[in-house]
Amino acid sequence: MRAAVFMLACVLAAKATAAISVRDDAGNIVVLQQPAKRIISLAPHVTELLFAAGGGASIVGTVSYSDYPPAAKTIPRIGDNWQVDLERLVALKPDLLVVWRHNASARQMEQLRALGIPLYYSEPHKMTDVAETLERLGKLLGTEQQANRSAGELRQGLSALAARFSQRPTVRVFYQVWDRPLYTLNSSHIISDAIRVCGGENIFAQMPMAAPQIGVEAVLQKNPEAVIAGTLRDRASDGAAIWKKYPTLEATRHDNLFTLDGDLLNRPGPRIISGAAALCEKLEQARIHRGERP
């Protein structure tokens, strides 16, 4: 009996001290000896992911524009997407850094790695990646129940969108990030995946850069059936309106110049499902404008 109790105690002790290990979006193995309790989020979408994974109360620092959910607005700022105050970061004594890999400079990343603080890179390229990220963060935070629930809800929403729209007749789409200068996104960005799920085709999917700058003539030559302009927080105007002066553009001729909330689409976080749903509805409008039934 004593031997059995001793063995059980050893097993429980081993589980209590077992390291937590996950793989991040850069392919690196992130190891923690115990669930993270003091986390710094270095991107707005990361902040949203951490809240959805059940770790909002553990975020001790973040960057500019981390404004969702509303509780995120009270978290201390230590910089922006491009540069953080390393002294302030260290003073917060984090046990985990979650970083947006795409927007971080190489020099800043080297400085962060040199601190010796566990670092998780986040850059989901597909909507299914967001659910997987929630589950991984849940493991690192010790909040698996909440994280898995959020991941399940996201997968359910994605499945519903794909079932309804992915096989609909294709709509050729130009996604406009910004118009001064003109920027779009290639197939590696999560928005391109959302366009695909909605039954659309990103006309600049094959561009070599993730966020290429293009010219008006390139768009006119591609002649998309729909233009989707993502609004930016600093500018609430209709970015798609610039195409009204090109009446021969198919999107203009068929009244398919649409504007959507950029934060719902540009941020690869849990709200991407809401953004994708709005995008799907716009593409369905384009199909109706060509005379097809919904």
DSSP letter string, 231-287: EBTTB-S-GGGGGGG-TTSHHHHTT-EEEEEHHHHHS-STTHHHHHHHHHHHHHHHH
In this structure, is residue 280 part of a structural domain? yes
Q: Are residues 185 and 274 in the same domain?
A: yes
Assign 5 a pLDDT band (cuts: 50, 70, 90): very low
Q: What is the pLDDT of residue 239?
A: 82
Q: Print the domain residue range for 66.
A: 18-154
Q: What is the pLDDT of residue 294?
A: 75
- Do the beta carbons of residue 276 and residue 162 sit within 8 Å? no
pLDDT digits (tens, 9 = 90+) for 127-146: 999 999 999 999 999 999 99
- Do the beta carbons of residue 164 and residue 216 sit within 8 Å? no
How many helices (H) and strands (E) the chain has is answered by 11, 12
Say what percent of the chain tops pLDDT 70. Answer: 90
Among 27-41, 54-68, 72-86, the least confident range: 72-86
> Helices 144-165 and 127-141 meet at what angle, rounded to 10?
170
Rounded to whole angstroms, how far apart are CA atoms 189 and 126? 7
Better-predicted residue by pLDDT, 60 or 240: 60
- Do the beta carbons of residue 251 and residue 227 sit within 8 Å? yes
Place of tokens 């607005």: 73
We report the CATH number of the domain holding residue 115 as 3.40.50.1980
Q: Are residues 274 and 174 in the same domain?
A: yes
**What count of residues does the chain have?**
294
Q: What SS3 class is residue 119?
A: strand
Q: What is the pLDDT of residue 135?
A: 98
pTM value surpassing 0.85:
yes
In total, how many domains does the chain have?
Answer: 2
Rounded to whole angstroms, how far apart are CA atoms 256 and 153? 31
Last residue of a domain, one of 104, 131, 154: 154
In this structure, is residue 65 part of a structural domain? yes
**Residue 8: pLDDT over 50:** no
pLDDT digits (tens, 9 = 90+) for 267-277: 999 999 999 99
Rounded to whole angstroms, how far apart are CA atoms 46 and 68? 10
By the 10 Å C-beta count (0-12 exposed, 13-18 middle, 19+ buried), 224 is classed as buried
Better-predicted residue by pLDDT, 170 or 104: 170
Q: Are residues 173 and 120 in the same domain?
A: no
What is the phi/psi pair of residue 227, to 5°? -115, 130
Q: What is the pLDDT of residue 267?
A: 92
Assign 234 a pLDDT band (cuts: 50, 70, 90): low
Q: Are residues 143 and 53 in the same domain?
A: yes
Q: Are residues 184 and 278 in the same domain?
A: yes
Q: What is the pLDDT of residue 182?
A: 93
Q: Are residues 207 and 268 in the same domain?
A: yes
Q: What is the mean pLDDT of residues 19-32?
A: 94
Nearest to 117 by CA among 147, 84, 146: 84
Rounded to whole angstroms, how far apart are CA atoms 98 and 274? 23
Q: Are residues 176 and 148 in the same domain?
A: no
By the 10 Å C-beta count (0-12 exposed, 13-18 middle, 19+ buried), 176 is classed as buried
Assign 13 a pLDDT band (cuts: 50, 70, 90): very low
In this structure, is residue 12 part of a structural domain? no
Rounded to whole angstroms, how far apart are CA atoms 17 and 191? 40
